Amino acid sequence: MKVHLKFLIALFALLFLAACSSTPSQPTQAPVAPPVDVHEDDDIDENVDEIILAAEGFIKGGCGACHVIPGIKNAVGNIGPDLSEIGLVASEQIASPDYQGKAETVKEYLEESLLEPNVHLSSACPGGPCASGLMPPYSEDTLGEDQLEAMINFMAQLPGLQVSSDLPTVEPEIKEEDFLDEEDMEWAKQVYFERCAGCHGTLRNGATGPGLTPDLMQPKGTLALAAIIFNGTPRGMPDWGNQGFMTKEETEIMAEYLQLEPPQPPEMSLDQMLATWKLLVPPEDRPTEPQTDRNWENYMLVTLRDAGQIAVIDADTYEVVSHVDTGYAVHITRTSATGRYAYTIGRDGKLALVDLWTEIPTKVAEAQLCYDARSVEVSKYKGEQGDFTDQLAIVGCYWPPHFVVLDGQTLEPFKIVSTRSYTYDTEEYHPEPRVAAIVASHLKPEWIVNIKETGQVWMVNYTDPVNPTIKMIEAERFLHDGGWDSTKRYFMVAANNMNRVAVIDSLDGNLEALVDTAGIPHPGRGANWIDPEFGPVWSASHLGEAVISSIGTDPENNPDNAWRVVRTTQLPGSGSLFIKTHPNSKWIWVDMTLNPDPELSRTICVIAKDNPGEVYKCWEAATYGRAVHFEYNLQGTEIWVSIWGNADIPGEVGEIVVYDDETLEEITRIPNLVTPTGKFNVYNTIWDIY
């Protein structure tokens, strides 16, 4: 590693000045860090070498990916505690009655933090107390004895150590052939698509998650990146290692892959889509009335994510009526306007059409519309401009970035519209503006299509679907998920990485408001209810902060409260994915699925609508796994929550817990479901009840 002469001179001068100064600058408050026994008697050159050794160690260890470390290039991480005053903090920690480790001196404390980071957890991580397992243990094998010692000495002197801003940095010279063989490369490519592309983008420009381009990744280094991939972060990055999806070695392969240029993925033409299209049962061969005695409008369409299936479950009897094979890692299911059909989209862009009128619900058509997708919707309008119920479907893709219009009865695709365009604010070309949530208006023959990276909301009129008219509304970047307000006039969509919710007036076709919220709103479709103080509100949960935000939605009768966060209710932890209520319910339900604390990740909470300032009650919905997503039955009397388990552990595969919404008592469990995730009640999905 190169060290510039200029830097050595500057560093020498700084150290010299520091050595001459009798009292290095210290904050005035006690306690003060115990005297540090390095550098004082040492030769200056040795100190310079030692600081350089320490700096190299921080870089090699990737410490800056999670921590702020003064003087270390790119050490601006905000996952772990800021280390600017760690020498001082260490002495406070040792003196604190809460300290659980064995260290008696600052240096012992720092050594313990590096080698056994879980012995004592700091309470000063940016999102609250640091979670166990987040920091990887370092060892003499990874960093070497001298380097570890240098790093400890460096930290022991903070604050107070004057460090040149010109310390060495890594000079990335990372080439694919250096360390990833063909097999690793293929593995990483596939797994990146399956696990990472959704948040970080196929071209890795970032959206829900940060950008992962090589210029950003190389300074962090393999060790730190692998640790983040293994352990996740409190801001919502899943812990792929802890969850058993990647081994430690695999996280290292992925970390190396991220330091290389992303490969360019292929496009997809209409001919390619048509080649995948299968009409399994033509419309004329389908029943003309329901062939089942079951209350099919009360079916729950349940994503079994890792099985690549949906389970159709009768919510009156809790019986699994059928398992239907669908795309890989099903994302969502929406129902046709009459509810007769279910449309299920997989992450691999495969759409399945399921007929709910047959005795056993069956797949009647399928087609692949892209390589990476998250959204599907149907035509719901019936009025003066025509009857479009059960006529059309639309699929929104992440890659290639486009949406596709299909025949709603057969799934024959016939229109592709690219979303590649210019960012709404800076008018810069974006190669990958992905289609996030799509909703169908009940009031007009229109779909509201949210284009994530360019921050535009497209109102797509489908009366002439081969020649659709599109009004492009400028909103906010990183649009993600959202739902209607209770009147179904306003669509509320989270621009999650901008900490905002955009409000679209679907009747006038314009942006009604941009509402500032807490960190990373992730509402699913949100929850509509009447706040006793502020009137009608729509609430969102948050990935990034331990709160739910409630936004006033009634500009007519409560204009002072409209389109602002009128209430913030504290939760025990962040990492929430979904929130839900029902007009008949007195509760709002919320999960914390992505909280790094295993107990919180399976904890669900309810907030009472008549006392919404605080959580009424929280409890663990299972003894294992994570709790995720809620849905009500048709009557609004029972609520279902999914438990993600582990398919390899008998008894902990995964299940659904059904609660009585009046009493909060558990009614039953529907066991042995493979990663049950989203649940879509047919009736509630038709009418957008949430």
Are the C-beta atoms of residues 137 and 41 closer than 8 Å to each other? Answer: no
Residue 626 binding ligand DHE, by CB under 6 A: no
How many Å apart are CA 398 and CA 421, to the nearest integer? 14
Query: For residues 51 and 435, which CB has a smaller minimum distance to ligand DHE in the complex?
Result: 435
Residue 199 binding ligand DHE, by CB under 6 A: yes
How many Å apart are CA 505 and CA 492, to the nearest integer? 9
**Closest distance to ligand DHE from the beta carbon of 153 (Å):** 42
Are the C-beta atoms of residues 178 and 61 closer than 8 Å to each other? Answer: no
Q: Could you give the angle at the alpha carbon of 292 between the alpha carbons of 288 and 293, nearest 5°?
A: 125
Provide CB contacts within 8 A for 369, sequence distance 6+.
Answer: 268, 273, 349, 350, 351, 395, 397, 404, 406, 413
- Total of residues contacting ligand DHE (CB under 6 A): 21
How many Å apart are CA 170 and CA 277, to the nearest integer? 50
Task: Kindly indicate which of the ranges 5-13, 150-158, 326-334, 453-461 contains the residues binding ligand DHE, using the contact rule CB under 6 A.
Answer: 326-334
Q: Of these residues, 125, 196, 217, 592, which one is catalytic?
A: 196
Q: Of these residues, 522, 542, 582, 629, which one is catalytic?
A: 522
Pick one of 111, 481, 597, 638: the residue that binds ligand DHE (CB under 6 A): 481
Residue 676 binding ligand DHE, by CB under 6 A: no
Q: In the chain, what's the furthest Cα-to-Cα distance?
A: 93
Residue nearest to ligand DHE (CB): 198
What amino acid occupies position 357? Answer: W
Pick one of 121, 436, 540, 579: the residue that binds ligand DHE (CB under 6 A): 436
Query: For residues 90 and 527, which CB has a smaller minimum distance to ligand DHE in the complex?
Result: 527
Are the C-beta atoms of residues 160 and 90 closer than 8 Å to each other? Answer: no
Residue 237 binding ligand DHE, by CB under 6 A: no
How many Å apart are CA 416 and CA 245, to the nearest integer? 34
Provide CB contacts within 8 A for 441, sequence distance 6+.
Answer: 380, 381, 447, 448, 488, 506
Residue 375 binding ligand DHE, by CB under 6 A: yes
Q: Which DSSP string do the residues of 121-155 spell out, in sequence order?
A: --S-BTTBSPPTT-SPPP-HHHH-HHHHHHHHHHH
**Closest distance to ligand DHE from the beta carbon of 32 (Å):** 46
Pick one of 133, 159, 160, 198: the residue that binds ligand DHE (CB under 6 A): 198
Query: For residues 87 and 523, which CB has a smaller minimum distance to ligand DHE in the complex?
Result: 523
Q: What is the dihedral of CA 188, 194, 197, 200, to 10 degrees?
A: -90
Task: Kindly indicate which of the ranges 47-55, 140-148, 221-229, 436-444 contains the residues binding ligand DHE, using the contact rule CB under 6 A.
Answer: 436-444
Residue 654 binding ligand DHE, by CB under 6 A: no
Query: For residues 60 and 380, which CB has a smaller minimum distance to ligand DHE in the complex?
Result: 380
Residue 521 binding ligand DHE, by CB under 6 A: no
Q: Which DSSP string do the residues of 468-519 spell out, in sequence order?
A: -EEEEEE--SSEEEEEE-TTSSEEEEEEGGGTEEEEEETTTTEEEEEEE-SS
How many Å apart are CA 123 and CA 112, to the nearest integer? 16
Residue 305 binding ligand DHE, by CB under 6 A: yes
How many Å apart are CA 633 and CA 677, to the nearest integer? 16
Query: For residues 151 and 246, which CB has a smaller minimum distance to ligand DHE in the complex?
Result: 246
Pick one of 60, 107, 374, 477: the residue that binds ligand DHE (CB under 6 A): 374
Residue 684 binding ligand DHE, by CB under 6 A: no
**Closest distance to ligand DHE from the beta carbon of 545 (Å):** 17
Residue 326 binding ligand DHE, by CB under 6 A: no
- 237: annotated active-site residue: yes
- 66: annotated active-site residue: no
- 200: annotated active-site residue: yes
Pick one of 143, 315, 451, 577: the residue that binds ligand DHE (CB under 6 A): 577
* Structure tokens, 565: 């966060």
Q: Of these residues, 120, 480, 582, 629, which one is catalytic?
A: 480
**Closest distance to ligand DHE from the beta carbon of 452 (Å):** 8
Task: Kindly indicate which of the ranges 276-284, 328-336, 528-536, 608-616 contains the residues binding ligand DHE, using the contact rule CB under 6 A.
Answer: 328-336
- 125: annotated active-site residue: no
Pick one of 54, 224, 307, 437: the residue that binds ligand DHE (CB under 6 A): 437
Residue 480 binding ligand DHE, by CB under 6 A: yes
Task: Kindly indicate which of the ranges 16-24, 180-188, 314-322, 433-441 contains the residues binding ligand DHE, using the contact rule CB under 6 A.
Answer: 433-441
Query: For residues 67 and 580, which CB has a smaller minimum distance to ligand DHE in the complex?
Result: 580
Residue 405 binding ligand DHE, by CB under 6 A: no
- 39: annotated active-site residue: no
- 323: annotated active-site residue: no
Query: For residues 367 and 437, which CB has a smaller minimum distance to ligand DHE in the complex?
Result: 437
Are the C-beta atoms of residues 61 and 224 closer than 8 Å to each other? Answer: yes
Residue 629 binding ligand DHE, by CB under 6 A: yes
Of 409, 545, 424, 440, give the one whose Cα is nearest residue 478: 424
CA distances from 335 to 62, 313, 353, 445, 685 (A): 47, 15, 10, 17, 6
CA 494, chain centre distance (Å): 12
Of 547, 607, 539, give the one whose Cα is nearest residue 573: 547
What amino acid occupies position 299? Answer: Y
Q: ω before 159 within 30° of 0 (cis)? A: yes
CA 520, chain centre distance (Å): 9
Residue 615 binding ligand DHE, by CB under 6 A: no
**Closest distance to ligand DHE from the beta carbon of 208 (Å):** 5
Among residue numbers 264 through 293, which ones bind ligand DHE (CB under 6 A)?
Answer: none
* Structure tokens, 352: 């399945």
How many Å apart are CA 170 and CA 59, to the nearest integer? 7
């540090």: which residue's tokens? Answer: 36
**Closest distance to ligand DHE from the beta carbon of 577 (Å):** 5
Query: For residues 391 and 677, which CB has a smaller minimum distance to ligand DHE in the complex?
Result: 677
Provide CB contacts within 8 A for 437, sequence distance 6+.
Answer: 375, 396, 450, 479, 480, 481, 482, 493
Q: Of these residues, 39, 67, 120, 200, which one is catalytic?
A: 200
Residue 677 binding ligand DHE, by CB under 6 A: yes
Residue 525 binding ligand DHE, by CB under 6 A: yes
Among residue numbers 536 through 565, which ones bind ligand DHE (CB under 6 A)?
Answer: none
The residues that touch ligand DHE, with contacts defined as CB under 6 A, are 198-199, 208, 305, 329, 331-332, 374-375, 436-438, 480-481, 524-525, 577, 628-629, 677-678
Which residues have a catalytic role annotated?
Answer: 196, 199-200, 237, 480, 522
